[in-house]
Amino acid sequence: MAQQKSYIPGTHPDLPPPRSEAGILGWMRQNLFATWSDTLLTLFSLYVIYSFLPGMMDWMFLDAVWSASSRKECWAAMSEPAAGACWAFIAVRLNQFLYGFYPIEELWRVNLSFVLFLVALAPVLFDKVPGRKYLFLLTALFPFIAGWLIFGGFGLERVDTVKIGGVALTLVIGVTGIAFSLPAGIFLALGRTSNLPVLKMLCVIFIEFIRGVPLIALLFIASTMLNYFLPPGTTFDLLVRVLIMVSLFASAYMAEVIRGGLAGIPKGQIEASNAAGLTYWQTMYLITMPQVLKISIPGIVNTFIGLFKDTTLVVVIGMFDTLGMGRAALADATWIGLTREVYIFIAIFFFICCQSMSLYSNYLERKLDTENKFQKK
C-alpha cells in the first residue's frame, strides 16, 4: 500500500481543478449552460444555426460560380437560376469596386499609398514596433505623401478626384474623418468646459448645430451651397468639401464623448496640479487627457465606426464610394439581377473594417486596464 505523503499546514500544493470546471467543458458549463435560461438560449441558437447555415454555405460556396462572363453564363452553370452565388460578377468588377474609375496604369499609386498607410499606422497602434520613433515621421508626413501619390502633381500625372471611387474613396473619407475628428473633438470639448464665456459659447453653438443637422444635409450644403458663401472665383474640389464636412460632423460627436470623459475626472486632481504649479495645458497633457482618453475608448471607437459607415451617404451627392460603385455595377444589363452578391460583398468589407476597429478597442482596453492588473498581482 502506497504511503501517503504528509505536508506541513499551509504548504500543500494546489490541486488541479475538476475536469468539469476546466478546459472546454468548464468553459461550456460556465458560458453556455450555467442556468436553465442559458441552456434554452444556447439550444435555440444551435437550432437557428442548424436551420440556416447549411443552405447559406451551399449558396455562398458549394453551389457558387466563380468564373463567368455574364449572368446568363453564370446561371447556366447552376442546377437552376440563382441556385448559388455568382461571384464571377465581383471578380470581373473587382477593380471598379476597389478603385472606382482610377486609371488602370496608375493603380500602383493607390496600392503604394495603402501600404504606406499601414506602415504609418503601425507606430500609432502598437508600442513594440522596430524604429517606432522614426516611423512617427512617416505618420506625420503620410497625408501629404498620400495626397501626392493619389492625386498627382510634382512629377506625377494628375488624376481628377472624381475618378477615385469604391473602397479607395471610402478609405480616404473614413480615415481622414477619423484622423481629424479626434483632435478637433478634444479641443471642442475643452472649449465647451472652459471658463472663457465667448469660447464656451462658440463651442456650444457649433456642437449643438452640427448634432442637430443630419449629415446628409451637411453633404448637400457642401456640394451645392458652400460656393455661394465663398468669395467670387473661389472654388473647392467636391472631395475636399466632403472631407471637411465629414470631419466637422464627427468632431462634434467626438467632443461630447471627450466631455463625458472629462466629467469623470475628480476635481481634486486639477486642484492638486494647480497647487503643484502646473499650467492648464501641462495639467491637460500630463494628468487629465491620458485618463480621459483611457475611459473614453469605447465611445471614441463607437464614433469612429459610425463615421466609417456614414461614408456611404456620399452616394447621394454623386460620389461613387463602395456602395455607389455597387449600385452602378448593378445597372449593367450583362449582370443585372445579382443584387445579393453585391450587397453581401459590401457588407463583408464594412464588417471587416468595423470589426477590426472593435477588436483593437478591446485590445487597448485590456492593455490599459491597470486597476485590474494591480488587483490580480
d(Cα 45, Cα 321) in Å, to the nearest integer? 36
Residue 236 confidence (pLDDT): 80
d(Cα 75, Cα 312) in Å, to the nearest integer? 30
Strand partners, 100: 164
Only one residue has cell 474613396, namely 169
Residue 17 confidence (pLDDT): 65
Only one residue has cell 499546514, namely 9
Give backbone dihedrals phi and psi of 331, rounded to 5 degrees, phi first. -80, -10
Average pLDDT of span 141-165: 94
Residue 371 confidence (pLDDT): 64
Average pLDDT of span 356-373: 86
Residue 370 confidence (pLDDT): 66
Strand partners, 164: 100
Which one has a higher pLDDT value, 233 or 70?
A: 70
Which one has a higher pLDDT value, 156 or 224?
A: 156
Cα–Cα nearest to 179, from 127, 124, 112:
124
Residue 187 confidence (pLDDT): 96
207-216, Cβ contacts within 8 angstroms, sequence gap of 24 or more: 207/252, 207/255, 207/256, 210/248, 210/249, 210/251, 210/252, 210/253, 211/252, 211/253, 211/256, 215/245, 215/246, 215/249, 215/310, 215/313, 216/313, 216/316
The reply to whether the predicted model has a pTM over 0.75 is yes
Mean pLDDT, the chain, whole residue set:
90
Percent of the chain with pLDDT strictly greater than 70:
92
Q: Which domains does the chain show, CATH number per domain?
A: 36-81 (no CATH), 160-376 (1.10.3720.10)
pLDDT > 70? residue 2: no
Which one has a higher pLDDT value, 54 or 376?
A: 54
Residue 20 confidence (pLDDT): 59
Question: Over the stretch 18-68, which tens digit does the pLDDT of each residue have?
Answer: 665 667 878 888 888 888 999 999 999 999 999 999 999 999 999 999 999
The pLDDT-based confidence of 261 (bands split at 50, 70, 90) is very high
d(Cα 364, Cα 203) in Å, to the nearest integer? 30
CB 329 within 8 A of CB 97: yes
Burial 321-332 (b: 16+ CB within 10 A, else e): bbbbbbebbbee
CB 120 within 8 A of CB 142: yes
